[in-house]
Amino acid sequence: MTVQGLANHVVGARFEALDYQRPPEILSANDQFSKVQELLRGESPTDWPTYGAMLSLRGFADEVRQLILRAQEALVTPEEITAKAEASGLSGWRELAAFYRRYLQVLDDIGKVDYGGLVNQAAAAAGHGEPLFDHLLVDDYQEATFAEEALIVGLRVQSLVVAGDEGSHIFSFQGTTDVPLRRFLEQLPTAEHVSLATAHRCQTPLYEAWSTPHTSEETAAVARELRRIHVEDGVPWGELAVIVRREDGHVGGLLRALDDARVPRTTPEGGLSLLAEPAAFPFVLALRWLARPQDRDGLAESILTSELVRLSPAAARGLVRAALAEDQPPSAALQRTDGLTPEEASELRSLSLVLQEAEAVAGRSVLDAFSTLWRKLPYARRLVEAGERSPEGARDLDSVLALSEAVSRAGEQADASVIAFLEVLEAGEEGPGLAELAEERRPDAVRVFTAHGSAGREFDTVIIVGATEGNFPSLSRPEPMFDLASLDGRVSQADRNRLRLWDERRLFHVVVSRARRRVVFTASDPHAEATVLTARSRFVSELGVAWTPAPTGPFAEPLSVAEAAAVWRRGFADTSQPPQRRLAALRGLLALGDNPARWWFQRDWTGSDRPLHENIRVSFSKLDTLENCALQYVLSEELGLEGRAGYYAWVGHLVHRIIEDCESGAIPRTEDALVAAAEDRWQSEQFPSHAVSEAFRRVVTRKMLPTWLVMYGQTPALAGEIRFNFEFAGATVTGAIDRVGEVSSGGSQITDYKTGKARGGPAEENLQLGIYYLAVNMAEELATYRPVKAVELAFLKENVNGRNFRVQLGMNSKVQQEFREKMAARLSSLIEEIRELLKTEVYRPSPEAECRYCDFKTLCPLWPEGRDLFLAASVARA
Ligand code: SF4
């Protein structure tokens, strides 16, 4: 039995000697935490001159909880703390000691004990009556507390054997000490000391240390090595272990690498990993939705795109936008189905119903809420089906099972609500955390442990990931706020560090000695993402192990489908190989379903000795992009990387076509006819959702087309949508003018219709109108429209002070001359800029650019998302 089990047995047998009417009830770690929190909240700040302001803080309650446990384990009474505090002038400790006394009194009154108090009480009762046992054997005595020592010695058994190893003492941060082991012979002078000299594991396992440039390569190397050991050395998965120092953000990356390489694995023992498990996370999202109505707006999109509903990000955003368009909060998106397929709509409806049902019980029981989710969500059904079909599915199911076990433990706590469960789950190192998970669920799977979690285990091979300073040793662990040792005199930081280093050295020894045959250390080089520069662990160097680069491909013997495809592709392409080997490689590739059409690596770089363009062709839209930013210009106009035109562009195109058909006589010049044409040609599938489509349909049929009819309907155009093409400054300028109208005093007016928001400056500054003006004056096919007396932009969507919005420039001959010169100079300077860019091929982003509608932020060094991922690499290059 555990020490707590032994203590429980003793207290159960001797409760009367402790003045209890019946055996006291035991508070679990979570219940003890809740009790401390509850009592602290009821305290008066006036009784806490030093810490009064912290009484309601969760972190403070956790520190006090730990202090109370540690004090009981160390057999330190409130009175002793008060006396030491008086002697050393540590005033804050007096209020802590007083609370400690009140806490014990409250537990006593309600007939309860916490785990610390249980061992303490058992030690007090151990000496009463006849000895309860004849023989007692205690393992791992290097991890005892003083209360445990008092209990074991106090039981007065006929024969007592304790076994321990000072060098394996690693849980000092949990209040254990090796002092009882070291002074055992003083406590019981008649005891015999036996040294166990025979190592039952391999004395000298094989050590290797691998370094990689980046953590992703490190985790990939670990995954491959596990697969290799299993396949080539024939070691069962369950005989392999991966050990990390602690559960932090890197564990998620490691687990994903193992999953990608299809290495079966267990779930690490702590709570944080449940948040990192992709299969369990949708349930966590649903629980957050239930417990935190105030956070629902922020959760809506994540829930819609998660496995719970499986919407595309665009569809999810469409629902949120539709909700906002109707003045609803984003969370209302879960109640909408605009633009969804019938299957998507039905999945979303079932989720909403299940969430409603679970919400009714969420305040009372996390167990009932989770059970509703599990029984009724289509996602749960899919998980079970996948679990029966594939090993990956089985692992996903395991991680949800781990979550359900954590839920069921939480369901037995005093506060069994979903809120309380989430608090514990998300608390990380703060708070009592989740108890260890049952780990034998998947006997044939690689074990993933934290360093402390690996104690007491044994494997064929152990891979220790992240063997760097900061992990081994980790000297920066936060100190407890209240350290009992400080009552006995100030402990210097140097002393703390020295003791910590010894702790860490012992921990390293324990971790390394888990392997019978082989230990592999891995580390990646420091890079910009680390806040503290890391270096390879000194402990590894002390073992005399040399670091070598981790094995990288190409590997002769493939271990996975991807590797097999790579090896056979190379074999097939290698003309020095015998034909039969190349044919065998080809057969292998075809069997894998590899597609030679996608072997991009076989193609040479494109390029020629000639310049990219021998003739320069420009249009207004190209030049407009160039004026904004040269980098955006090359990416969109030269390389054609711009995303597909969106629904705004589709609406603009539709309106232009309808106007053109009206001008040509294909559509009558009436509002009804224009609206009917728009309704007839409308394609709601062009829009992200039904709501957005309807909003635009209203704008087109009620605003743009009626506005156009008022502005231009009565006077037919001289020409519409006329294409032009003229030579200017060694370049060909092309484009199309929306409308050329007649001016009553003679000459023409150029109009460009705009279907977006009004923006841009006055007409005399507008490059588009300038190019059209030059086109009419220089392109022979437009000669009949000269002279141009006016140019204008007509914003069909806008209405200013009840009037339709136009940006116009009327021109007499002087203005015409000025406008022509100004626009010609601007056009030739832009053409010259293009010529220069083509020559130098250096395209820079512009700090003054309007970046709002730019698709290339992820390629642009001016934006955080476009910067180098690895600063160290760019520094090295520099
Ligand atoms: S994000 Fe701005 S600066 Fe960068 S390429 Fe696009 S427009 Fe240019």
Tell me if 48 sits within 8 A of 95, measured CB to CB: yes
Give whole-number Cα distances, 597 to 586, 590, 594, 602, in Å.
14, 12, 9, 10
What are 290-294's contacts with CB under 8 Å, separation 24+? Answer: 290/355, 290/358, 290/359, 290/362, 290/369, 290/418, 291/362, 291/417, 291/418, 291/419, 291/422, 292/419, 292/422
Residue whose CA is at the smallest distance from ligand 1 atom 2 = 851
CA neighbours within 13 Å on the CB side: how many for 675?
Answer: 11
Residue whose CA is at the smallest distance from ligand 1 atom 4 = 860
Tell me if 439 sits within 8 A of 447, measured CB to CB: yes
pLDDT tens for 385-411 read: 888 877 777 778 877 887 888 888 776
Q: Is 862 in the pocket of ligand 1 (CB under 6 A)?
A: yes
Q: Is 629 in the pocket of ligand 1 (CB under 6 A)?
A: yes
Which pLDDT value is given to residue 433? 45
Which pLDDT value is given to residue 534? 56
**Which residue carries 């040792």 as its tokens?**
485
Which pLDDT value is given to residue 269? 57
Beta strands in 543-647 (DSSP E): 547-549, 616-619
Question: What distance in angstroms lies between residue 738's CA and the mean position of ligand 1's atoms?
Answer: 29
Q: Is 854 in the pocket of ligand 1 (CB under 6 A)?
A: yes
Query: Phi and psi of 791, rounded to 5°?
Result: -130, 150
Q: Is 873 in the pocket of ligand 1 (CB under 6 A)?
A: no
Q: Chain centroid to CA 783: how far?
A: 62
Render 363-416 in DSSP notation, one character per residue: TT-HHHHHHHHHHH-HHHHHHHHHHHH-HHHHHHHHHHHHHHHHHHHHTTSSS-
Residue 548 pairs with which residues in a beta bridge?
210
Atom of ligand 1 nearest to the CA of 861: 4
Give whole-number Cα distances, 335 to 227, 684, 735, in Å.
46, 21, 47
Question: What distance in angstroms lies between residue 819's CA and the mean position of ligand 1's atoms?
Answer: 30
Atom of ligand 1 nearest to the CA of 628: 7
Residue 727 pairs with which residues in a beta bridge?
732
> Residues with Cβ < 8 Å from 417, sequence gap 6 or more?
291, 362, 363, 364, 365, 366
Distance (Å, whole) CA 337 – CA 6: 59
pLDDT tens for 834-855 read: 999 988 889 999 988 888 888 8
Torsion of CA 98, 102, 104, 106, to 10 degrees: -170
Which pLDDT value is given to residue 73? 92
- Is the Cα dihedral 665, 667, 671, 674 positive or negative? negative
Distance (Å, whole) CA 475 – CA 663: 80
Question: What distance in angstroms lies between residue 502's CA and the mean position of ligand 1's atoms?
Answer: 54
Residue 413 has pLDDT above 70, yes or no: no
Residue 530 has pLDDT above 50, yes or no: no
Give whole-number Cα distances, 584 to 92, 565, 577, in Å.
79, 12, 11
Residue 814 has pLDDT above 80, yes or no: yes
State the helix-helix crossing angle for 366-376 and 378-389, rounded to 10 degrees.
70
Question: What distance in angstroms lies between residue 797's CA and the mean position of ligand 1's atoms?
Answer: 28
pLDDT level of residue 587 (50, 70, 90 thresholds): very high
Atom of ligand 1 nearest to the CA of 854: 6
pLDDT level of residue 630 (50, 70, 90 thresholds): very high
To which H or E segment does residue 119 belong? helix 115-125
Alpha-carbon radius of gyration of the chain: 38
Which pLDDT value is given to residue 870? 52
Which pLDDT value is given to residue 477? 67
Q: Which two tokens stand for residue 415?
A: 């506060």
Which pLDDT value is given to residue 533? 46
Closest alpha carbon to 484 in 67, 86, 48: 67
Distance (Å, whole) CA 466 – CA 212: 11
Q: Is 636 in the pocket of ligand 1 (CB under 6 A)?
A: no
Ligand 1: which of 639, 642, 863 to mutate, judged by most atoms within 8 Å of the beta carbon?
A: 863
CA neighbours within 13 Å on the CB side: how many for 853?
Answer: 10
Residue 138 pairs with which residues in a beta bridge?
162
Which pLDDT value is given to residue 478? 67
Angle at 127 between CA 124 and CA 131, to 5 degrees: 135
Distance (Å, whole) CA 146 – CA 235: 42
Question: What distance in angstroms lies between residue 642's CA and the mean position of ligand 1's atoms?
Answer: 12
Atom of ligand 1 nearest to the CA of 857: 1
Q: Is 846 in the pocket of ligand 1 (CB under 6 A)?
A: yes
Residue whose CA is at the smallest distance from ligand 1 atom 3 = 845
Residue 775 has pLDDT above 90, yes or no: yes
Distance (Å, whole) CA 870 – CA 528: 6
Which pLDDT value is given to residue 724? 93
Q: Which residue has the higher pLDDT, 741 or 552?
A: 741
Average of per-residue pLDDT across 36-45: 91
Question: What distance in angstroms lies between residue 849's CA and the mean position of ligand 1's atoms?
Answer: 6
Question: What distance in angstroms lies between residue 631's CA and the mean position of ligand 1's atoms?
Answer: 6
Q: Which residue has the higher pLDDT, 409 or 542?
A: 542
pLDDT tens for 331-356 read: 999 999 887 888 888 889 999 999 99
Q: Is 632 in the pocket of ligand 1 (CB under 6 A)?
A: yes
Average of per-residue pLDDT across 481-487: 83
Distance (Å, whole) CA 30 – CA 114: 10
How many beta carbons lie within 10 A of that of residue 139, not counting itself? 11
Angle at 460 between CA 457 and CA 463, to 5 degrees: 80
**Which residue carries 């330190």 as its tokens?**
76
